[in-house]
Amino acid sequence: MKTNPHRNQSGESPPQWADRLLGWFCTPHKLEEILGDLHEEFAYQVDRVGVQRARQLYVQEVLGFIHIFPSKQTTDSVFFTFLLHPDMLANYLKIALRTLWKNKVYSGINVAGLAIGLAACLAIGLYILDEFTYDRFNTHYDSIYRIVENQKQASGIYNVAVTPGPLAATLTKDFPDVLQTTRVGRWSGALTQGRKAVEADNMFFVDPAFFSLFTYPLVLGNVNNVFLSPDEVIISESMAERFFGTNWASTAILGKPFKLNSDHTLTLAGVVKNPPEHSHLQFDVLLPFKYLEQYDEWSMKWNSNSYHTYIRLRPETNLVSFTDKIQLQIKRYANESGTTLELQPLRDIYLKSTFDFQTDWGKRSNMLYVRIFLTVGLIVLLIAVVNFINLATARASQRAREVGVRKTIGAQRSSLVVQFLGESFLLTSLAVAGALLLMQSLLPLFNSLSDKSLTLPYQDVRFWFFLLGLTVFVSLLTGLYPAFFLSSFRPARVLKGVFTIKTGQTFRQSLVVGQFALSIVLAIATVVIYQQLNFIQTKKLGFDKSQLLYVRLKGDLRAKALAIKQDIQRLPGVANVSTTTSNLVDVMNSGTIEWQGQTPKDEFLITNMNVDADFMKTTGMSLAAGRNFSAQITSDTSSKLGSYLINESAAKRMGWTPASALGKTIKFWGMDGKVVGVLRDFHFRPLRVVIEPFIFRFRPKDYYFNLLIKTQPNAVQRTLSDIGSVYKTYDATFPISYGFVDQDLNTQYRTEQRTGQIVLYFSILAILVSCLGLFGLTTFTTEQRIKEIGMRKVLGASVSSIVTLLSKDFVKLVLIAILIASPVAWWASKIWLQDFVYKIDVEWWVFALVGGLSISIALLTVGFQSVKAALMNPVKSLRSE
Amino acid sequence: MKRTYLGEFEEIVLLTVAVLDGQAYGVALTHEIIEQTGRSVRLNQIHAALQRLEDKGMVKSEMGEPTAERGGRRKRLFSVTAYGRRTLQEIQEVRASLWHRMPNPLNPAMSL
């Protein structure tokens, strides 16, 4: 036998089962004193009448107490609320499941709609979360900043993300708050090791502090003594694998000699871990900045802006005063006019970098798109929530009797509210489960749409908390109104049957209008985005991008450009060839220019590229005035007093018309020359920005970096292989690297294309969910009016008149929605289009098209049910009663 | 009615609570009442009466010390509130005045 801890002094104890019995029936807060009294009495009775009799008496006493307190429910409601009694909860659950099952269609519509909405929201949420995790792998994430410039020029203020080379050193010297600095410069080229040659995708010049300022750990090599000498190189793991095979880690590769562009010899100082995907800097080869300083004097000058400068500040630094202090740092050293410095926190670099002249070469995204996606995701969810509210209130009449009975029996309003909220919680939980299933199967599609590799973070506890929070939030959102609406019924009225479906109809109608308005806004936005994308693709750029391909020249081929050009020119499929310093896709070179008639302090940056006399023929550009370069005219190629071609924008900027610009003297990069021709404006930047001034030089003796080749139509493939074999005769080590100008130009709009696609899919979802709701609502109203329809048919109404009767109301609602949505959509499109200087006008027919489309979709949805109702045999509906 | 109605049994319990003066709890009250009145009283009746009296505001209670024979449980000690005391006095007065106004007092010696 178990020892009883409560055994009394005489060693006898009362029957335990009686105690337990009392425990079930007695209010817990009274249990202690009652049991105490009982036990004390038992001890007394044992002494008086013996154990046997005392036990009998004890049981009698216990039963007496049970008689007094028939249930746990007493006047004391502190411990027991009627609401949460297990019996009631069981009843709520049973009723909820019964109504769910009884109305399979509505429940299905509700759960499916909500699941779609939630899945959309989850997908968007994951996307946005992913966008915000950029660069967070850095240990010093919060104290790293990039120095950016505000350049004040006569034509406006320009933000650039690049700074002069000497800046970093002065920052460390002048400000004790600066812990570390590193410059990052971009370079391109190929590395050779033994007989293997690899073209680097992203080659950076960095300072030694790069590795510890950021968190890019070295897998091989000592971080404390790399890059102290200029002739070192560090490669990424993937690069190491390409050079030394998969088991590079087990071979001694440190100190191996590499050749950069087959002229300079570098030794391998380390292997750096591949930069994480969520790093705005992506690189595979790193070179010491010292190397650059050896060969490029511009890297040490204050008047050349080419490098990102990153600093790490002491965490306790006062940012406001620090920003004030560094603002004029350039002026202090270089006397540059109006250029001030600013700090850009690392957290902002990926999402909030909008710099002029393409001076930011990190991976980047756009806050605008984060906002667009967020809005779109929330809209889809909102529409699904509205469905839920609509159907729940529309079906109110079915639940009205239940509410009436419950209230008559004594249900509090609060308990009814809890009941209905609980039901929406149940439905929402089902929907969340459905959303997870949907996400699981559709995530690959979404990943390819958004160009990300998102996964559902099942192993993260926070994710589950988020899901729980989402479920509670959405069930409140969906449940609150129906709960208060349903629980407000007056039992007397409801039970007498004075209850019509009209209750809350205005509210439901406005919800339908809101729903459709949102879907229509999304649909119009989709059309506008696609129109703009189409506009971009077909816009005349000022040159002919079709069948135009470029070949990158590497290493010593740059000096042999003219010879290669001649060989390629001879190929049958080639129309024209031109040697250039840029491929027209991303033109990076720019400098300041001086010109005849320039007022002091009036200066601007002009973009430059070196071309040859065949450039205009190859690209199909045309002259506004003057003549093209010619190899026969010696002054064109002279290094003393050269000739320049400029574009119309440049002429305008310097205060000339194309005609008057001819013969004017300008000085670019320290060389005087005359303007011999003015080219018509062409787009060398994405259509987001206005056409900037451009200057061409003809320098056949300098390096050319590219060949632009115009092929004959329909001969691209064969010509490509021909070009490849010509290339091979000049360079046997490196494979040819080429690209098509039109394709590369297109990739500049990848974000826009992606947004267009995502918005397209989401607006389809939105319309689908809206229609789902409309379908449910129609099914319901037709069911309600089934007798009316029967009567009408008996009295001779035609099918079409009944369909019209049933559809009319809904079509009216959609029309109102179109009226509301159009201005909103127009305004939203304007905001998005602001991003482009060259853009479409939003035209009225877009609204008409989308409006017509949504009316026909709504009609189809409503019509299906209406026709079904109208075709029904009236006998069926009228027989009973 | 001017005051809350007090049943006969309630009155006895309330008086006994007053008699026990701060040491009144279920078992003690039961034994005391059995001893004084000779009735057979059960614990649950006392508890029910005390509950009613407390609801009416005539007694108040607090938890006392635990004892061994109670299995280490505390007892609830009752005491009469001012309102309870006044009620008892009023009952006493009403009875006294009624006795006083009786023209032929029920004197057993005299009735014989």
B76 to chain A: nearest residue by CA?
A: A33
In the predicted structure, residue A212 carries a pLDDT above the cut 80: yes
Domain boundaries, chain A: 16-80, 141-364, 368-535+750-879, 548-745
- pLDDT confidence of residue A7: 47
Over 70: is that where the pLDDT of A584 sits? yes
Residues in Cβ contact with A695 at an 8 Å cutoff, skipping those fewer than 6 apart: A593, A606, A607, A608, A644, A645, A646, A647, A650, A666, A668
Q: How many CB atoms lie within 10 A of CB A484?
A: 14
How many Å apart are CA A141 and CA A115, to the nearest integer?
37
For residue range A538-551, list pLDDT tens digits in order.
888 888 888 899 98
**Of A206, A352, A328, A316, residue with least CA distance to A270:** A206
Is A207 a residue whose pLDDT tops 90? yes
Position A80 scores a pLDDT of 41
Closest Cβ–Cβ partner in B42, B48, B67 for A61:
B42
| C-alpha to C-alpha distances, A101 to A107, A108, A417, nearest whole angstrom | 8, 10, 21
Mean pLDDT across the stretch A594-613? 83
Cβ pair B26:A34 closer than 8 A: yes
Contacts of A37 in chain B (CB under 8 A): 25-27, 43, 47, 70, 75
Residue A548 CA to residue A616 CA, distance in Å, equals: 13
For A91-105, what is the mean pLDDT? Answer: 84
Triad A679, A680, A681: Cα angle to 5°: 110
CA distance A532 to A756: 10
φ/ψ of residue A633, rounded to 5: -85, 115
User: In this predicted structure, what is the pLDDT of residue A51?
Assistant: 87
Q: pLDDT-derived band of residue A285, with 50, 70 and 90 as boundaries?
A: very high
Residues A290-328 have pLDDT tens digits of 888 888 887 888 877 888 999 999 998 898 999 988 888
- For position A78, what pLDDT does the model report? 42
- Going by C-alpha positions, the residue among A159, A81, A180, A148 that lies closest to residue A342 is A148
Q: Give A409's contacts (C-beta < 8 A, 6+ positions apart).
A: none
Interior angle at CA A40, CA A37 and CA A41, nearest 5: 85
Q: B47–A39: do the CB atoms touch at under 8 Å?
A: no
Q: What are A377's two structure tokens?
A: 């995701």
pLDDT score for B48: 87
pLDDT score at A742: 87
Q: How far is the alpha carbon of A412 from chain B, nearest alpha carbon, in Å?
A: 24
Which residues from chain B sit within 8 angstroms of residue A41, using beta carbons? 26-27, 30, 43
* Spatial distance between the Cα atoms of A82 and A70, rounded to a whole number of angstroms: 15
Residue A73: is its pLDDT beyond 50?
no
ipTM above 0.85, yes or no: no
- Is residue A358 classed as helix, strand or coil in its secondary structure? helix
Residue A406 host element (H or E)? helix A396-409
pLDDT of residue A273: 93
| pLDDT of res. B108 | 58
Residues A350 and A363: beta-carbon distance below 8 Å: yes
Using 50, 70 and 90 to split pLDDT, how confident is the model at A83?
low
Average pLDDT over residues B20-34: 89
Q: Is A65 close to B55, i.e. CB distance below 8 A?
A: no
CA distances (Å), A881 to each of A39, A451, A796, A871, A875, in order?
66, 61, 21, 21, 12
Q: How far, in Å, CA of A854 to CA of A771, rounded?
A: 10
Question: What is the pLDDT, as a whole number, of residue A648?
Answer: 92
Residue A405: HSE in the Cβ half-sphere, 13 Å Cα cutoff: 4
Q: Mean pLDDT of all residues in chain A?
A: 85
Q: Which of A668, A861, A867 lies closest to A777, judged by CA?
A: A861
- Of the candidates B42, B45, B74, the beta carbon closest to that of A32 is on B74
Show the tokens assigned to A357: 């002249």
Please determine, for residue A678, whether its predicted confidence score (pLDDT) is greater than 90.
yes
The angle, 0 to 180 degrees and rounded to 10, between the axes of the packed helices A786-794 and A844-871 is 70
Specify the DSSP element, H or E, that contains A270: strand A264-272
Residue A255 burial class via C-beta count within 10 angstroms: exposed 0-12, middle 13-18, buried 19 and up: exposed
Nearest Cα residue to B25 out of B90, B89, B86, B69: B69
Per-residue pLDDT at A722 exceeds 80:
yes
Find out whether A591 and A666 touch, Cβ atoms under 8 Å: no
CA distance linking residue A243 with residue A212, whole number of Å:
26
- State whether A9 and B27 contact (CB < 8 Å): no
Statement: residue A69 has pLDDT above 60: no
Name B31's bridge partners: none
pLDDT at A348 over 70: yes
Please report which confidence band the pLDDT of residue A8 belongs to, taking 50, 70 and 90 as the band edges: very low
pLDDT at A784: 78
Which band of pLDDT confidence, cut at 50, 70 and 90, is reported for residue A336? low
Distance from CA of B94 to the nearest CA of A (A): 32
pLDDT value at residue A340: 87
Instruction: Output the pLDDT for position A77.
Output: 41
The residue among A22, A31, A40, A63 with the most chain B CBs within 10 A of its CB, best to mutate, is A40
Which residues of chain B lie closer than 8 angstroms to A35, CB-CB? Answer: 70-71, 73
End-to-end CA distance of chain B: 39
| pLDDT (0 to 100) of residue A70 | 45
pLDDT in tens, A797-817: 888 888 888 888 888 888 999
Q: What is the pLDDT of residues A453-485, one digit of tens each?
A: 888 888 888 899 999 999 999 899 888 888 888
What's the CA dihedral at A28, A30, A34, A35 to 10 degrees? 30
Q: Which of A6, A33, A67 sits opposite B75 (nearest CB)?
A: A33
Q: Measured between CB atoms, which of A9, A37, A64 is closest to B75?
A: A37
Closest residue to A39, CB basis, from B30, B70, B76? B70
Separation of alpha carbons B100 and A33, rounded Å: 43
Cα distance between residue A598 and residue B61, in whole Å: 100
Give the mean pLDDT of A620-625: 90
Taking residues A578-599, report their average pLDDT. Answer: 82
State the residue for tokens 């990153």.
Answer: A310
Q: What is the pLDDT of residues A258-278, one digit of tens each?
A: 988 767 889 999 999 999 989
Confidence (pLDDT) at A204: 92
As a whole-number percent, the residues of chain A with pLDDT over 90 amount to 17
Architecture of domain B8-102: Orthogonal Bundle (1.10)
Distance from CA of A9 to the nearest CA of B (A): 6
The nearest CA of chain B is from the CA of A67 a distance in Å of: 9
- Chain B residue with minimal CA distance to A36? B70
For the beta carbon of residue A44, count every other beta carbon within 10 angstroms. 17
Contacts of B48 in chain A (CB under 8 A): 68
